[in-house]
Amino acid sequence: MDFSFCYILFYLYLHCTSASDNTFPQAQNITWKSVNFKTILSWVPKPSSHYAYTVEFSVLGGNKERNPHCIRSSANLCDLSSSMTDLNACYTADVLSEPPMGVTSDLIEFPYTSSPQFCPYKDTEIGRPDFKLKMSQDKKTTTLYVTDPLTAVFKDDQQLTIRDVFSDQLQYKVTYRKNKSTGKKVHFSQTNIIEMTDLDRGVSYCFNVQAFFPSRSIEKQLGELSHTQCSDDNNQSIFEVYSITVIAAAIFFVLLLLGIIVAVIVVCCKCRRKALKKEKEEMPLQGV
């Protein structure tokens, strides 16, 4: 009787152990992060040595595919940039929890979690553009030369820019203000060469540029803001060119130098007078 009871307990132990070995945690918090069509799918948790992740993706209504770098992977992210060949389509992905490479399991279907929908053309974020400033000789026009950011998209072994992908859907938003001022103005341009003609002559202006897509939803219309660049001002006062600290240090240095020069002159004069006095005292008296 006792032997049968022990056998039953041992059988249940083996069964539970086998079930636990074939149980894999599901992926959670699946998110898309895409900048200039560099698209990464990520999730948590990071897998242990007992299980791995496989990513299956598809165009909505299409067949599921697998990226060769994201099959039974020990990472908790997958780069799907090169897999999304149709930028105008919308995609979903499933993250499956599976045993690691070389390990078998009794499970027929593995647990998985589905991602939100992602549409590259509408959803990818656009990074900050670079630009150069050039002022005309008459100081009346400042021209901005904007460089279109590169994307992760290639065509015929050529890396495409955002202009190549979006064509006339791409505009640039220029935000500008007078240097040292907080009041801002906005200018939109459909080209990369932007001429600013409504500026006060001889005044320094600061500029920021970002991509703008009027056809997108409001929260996706603007790209990342560029670094600030300011034009030169030949009529700036010394207080605008240099900080108060620099001016104060320069004044202190000049005063210190003048003080040293005056001190040297005073000491030299005293020494000269002392030498003349001693020379007089040492001269012999002439007979009367």
pLDDT above 70 covers what percent of the chain? 85
Task: Check pLDDT > 50 for residue 261.
Answer: yes
Mean pLDDT, rounded, for 249-253:
86
pLDDT above 90 covers what percent of the chain? 61
- pLDDT, residue 243, reads 62
Task: Check pLDDT > 70 for residue 14.
Answer: no
Q: How confident is the model at residue 238 (pLDDT cuts 50, 70, 90)?
A: low
- pLDDT, residue 22, reads 53
Which is more confidently placed, 248 or 179?
179
Mean pLDDT, rounded, for 61-89:
95
Mean pLDDT, rounded, for 48-70:
94
Q: How confident is the model at residue 165 (pLDDT cuts 50, 70, 90)?
A: very high
- Class of domain 26-123 as given by CATH: mainly beta
Residue range 170-219, pLDDT digits in tens:
999 999 999 988 899 999 999 999 999 989 888 899 999 999 999 999 99
Pair of tokens at residue 82: 């090169």
Contact 153, 87 (CB under 8 A): yes
Residue range 98-135, pLDDT digits in tens:
999 888 887 888 999 999 999 999 999 999 999 999 99
Residue range 76-105, pLDDT digits in tens:
999 999 999 999 999 999 999 999 988 888
**Which CATH code of 2.30.30.170, 1.10.10.10, 2.60.40.10, 3.50.50.60 fits the domain covering 130-233?**
2.60.40.10
Task: Check pLDDT > 50 for residue 12.
Answer: no
Listed in order, the ranges of the chain carrying CATH 2.60.40.10 are: 26-123, 130-233
Mean pLDDT, rounded, for 246-251:
83
Chain position carrying tokens 């939100």: 116
Region of 215 on the Ramachandran plot (φ > 0 left; ψ -120 to 50 alpha; else beta): alpha
